[in-house]
């Protein structure tokens, strides 16, 4: 079946250039690139953002880099000349900016939206926490929700990383499942050799948390650790350190560093898997968020059990046992952390749950095949697929008119400056 996509052109329009060492979103993008490479596609990647110091080298994926411009007819020329068979948008804001141009220049291209997580859900939970609410339903119906749902409807296929989000879109917002694909992280199985090379319980020390600080839930998690969890936990384990790592830490993050309290803020980790593998337990009392968390995948990959909040581990374990504990109440969280840290037998047992979880819920071969089959199904009869999602065609029609003229207005305005 791969032959059907072989030599087909895919253009990925990125929010930024992937940084797999800075964020789970970067790793996710590399997994998708690997799929397209395995299918024999010609891969083009463009972004209006500049490359950063930690941007990935995309040459192993045979990516051809293209230059794109926001509100600029030069982007139309790129699209018209390239005529990609597939266009993938990296998050809904990119579809809003470029979708109308793709519709105009490449009307027959299959369009895919990679959500990473549902932004409107993450922001609803953030707002709920800020206002002390208990029912997220009250915070879901916002301008952002309208925008993201409209973007999903305008695309031929949307990749959803979490089962909770997949069900929410279908059950609450009545999005047709035909245009959705549940596609979690796609991971290699943890081999017996991997397990044999893991550091032992005795060879590890301290707690760890890791997360990109551009992402608000990671900052709030560290604040919760510093102000709520750690003051209680360090009384029970006074010689143990809490190590915090993450890219792009603002000064407010670094100011939490306090050696006397054994609360160590290190900033970016050169090798995330290495620093996680040196720790005995990962602590992640994540207060809000969406999607599924790459930090837990990394922790299971190197055999580091974790203590997470319910929202942190959402949609990650299914019916299986968690590689650690999932608790929300402070005292229970602290007690779970102490038990994992001090009980080698319990620690070993939880570690093995992670091996099973990775093999069952994140099998790369299985999900790559699911993705391939769905892409082929839609490509085979795009006209029929768009009839099923005719609401999306209607939205595209109206968006094309409004976005087009707004974009052209900005284009002309930029010329005058």
pLDDT, tens only, 117-148: 999 999 999 999 999 998 999 999 999 999 99
The confidence score (pLDDT) of residue 1 equals 41
Residue with the bigger pLDDT between 374 and 71: it is 374
Q: Is the pLDDT of residue 76 over 90?
A: yes
The confidence score (pLDDT) of residue 136 equals 95
User: Cα(340)–Cα(208) distance, rounded to whole angstroms?
Assistant: 13
Taking residues 363-383, report their average pLDDT: 96
Confidence of residue 298 (pLDDT cuts 50, 70, 90): very high
- The answer to whether residues 247 and 282 touch, using CB atoms and an 8 Å cutoff, is no
pLDDT, tens only, 202-224: 999 999 999 999 999 999 999 99
User: Cα(389)–Cα(244) distance, rounded to whole angstroms?
Assistant: 45
The confidence score (pLDDT) of residue 140 equals 97
Taking residues 307-314, report their average pLDDT: 97
What's the start-to-end Cα distance of the chain, in Å? 51
The confidence score (pLDDT) of residue 4 equals 84
Give the predicted TM-score (pTM) of the model.
0.93
Q: Is the pLDDT of residue 283 over 80?
A: yes
Is the Cα torsion angle 163, 291, 303, 286 positive or negative in sign? Answer: negative
Q: What is the crossing angle of helices 390-416 and 92-105, to 10°? A: 90
Inter-CA distances, 187 with 122, 275, 325, 359, 364, Å: 24, 20, 22, 8, 5
Bridging pattern class, strands 180-182 and 86-90: unpaired
The confidence score (pLDDT) of residue 416 equals 66
Q: Is the pLDDT of residue 271 over 70?
A: yes
The confidence score (pLDDT) of residue 260 equals 96
* Average pLDDT, rounded, for the chain: 94
Confidence of residue 401 (pLDDT cuts 50, 70, 90): low
Taking residues 297-325, report their average pLDDT: 97
Maximum CA pair distance of the chain?
Answer: 70
Q: Is the pLDDT of residue 27 over 50?
A: yes
Taking residues 191-196, report their average pLDDT: 96
Residue with the bigger pLDDT between 404 and 90: it is 90
């Amino acid at each position: 079946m791969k032959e059907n996509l072989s030599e087909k052109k895919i253009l990925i329009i990125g929010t930024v250039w992937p940084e797999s060492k800075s964020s789970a979103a970067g790793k996710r993008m590399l997994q998708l690139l690997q799929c397209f490479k395995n299918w024999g596609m010609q891969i083009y990647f463009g972004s209006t953002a500049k490359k950063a110091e930690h941007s990935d080298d995309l040459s192993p994926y045979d990516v051809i880099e293209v230059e794109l411009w926001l509100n600029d007819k030069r982007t139309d020329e790129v699209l018209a000349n390239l005529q990609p068979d597939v266009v993938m948008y990296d998050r809904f804001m990119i579809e809003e900016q470029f979708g109308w141009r793709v519709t105009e220049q490449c009307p027959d291209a299959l369009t895919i939206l990679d959500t990473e997580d549902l932004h409107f859900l993450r922001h609803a939970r953030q707002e709920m926490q800020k206002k002390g609410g208990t029912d997220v339903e009250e915070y879901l119906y916002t301008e952002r929700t309208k925008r993201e749902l409209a973007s999903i409807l305008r695309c031929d296929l949307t990749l959803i990383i979490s089962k909770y989000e997949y069900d929410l879109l279908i059950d609450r917002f009545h999005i047709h499942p035909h245009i959705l694909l549940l596609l979690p992280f796609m991971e290699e199985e943890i081999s017996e050799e991997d397990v044999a090379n893991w550091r032992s319980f005795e060879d590890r020390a301290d707690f760890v948390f890791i997360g990109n600080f551009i992402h608000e839930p990671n900052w709030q998690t560290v604040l919760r650790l510093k102000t709520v969890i750690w003051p209680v936990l360090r009384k029970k384990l006074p010689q143990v350190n809490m190590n915090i790592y993450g890219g792009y830490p603002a000064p407010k993050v670094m100011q939490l560093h306090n050696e006397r309290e054994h609360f160590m803020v290190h900033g970016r980790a050169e090798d995330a898997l290495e620093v996680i593998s040196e720790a005995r337990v990962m602590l992640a009392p994540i207060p809000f968020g969406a999607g599924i968390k790459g930090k837990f995948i990394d922790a299971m990959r190197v055999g580091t059990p974790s203590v997470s909040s319910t929202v942190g581990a959402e949609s990650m374990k299914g019916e299986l046992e968690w590689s650690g504990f999932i608790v929300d109440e402070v005292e229970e969280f602290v007690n779970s952390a102490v038990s994992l840290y001090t009980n080698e037998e319990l620690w070993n047992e939880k570690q093995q749950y992670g091996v099973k979880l990775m093999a069952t819920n994140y099998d790369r071969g299985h999900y790559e095949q699911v993705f391939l089959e769905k892409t082929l199904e839609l490509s085979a009869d795009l006209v029929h697929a768009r009839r099923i999602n005719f609401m999306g065609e209607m939205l595209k029609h109206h968006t094309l008119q409004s976005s087009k003229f707004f974009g052209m207005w900005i284009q002309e305005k930029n010329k005058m400056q």
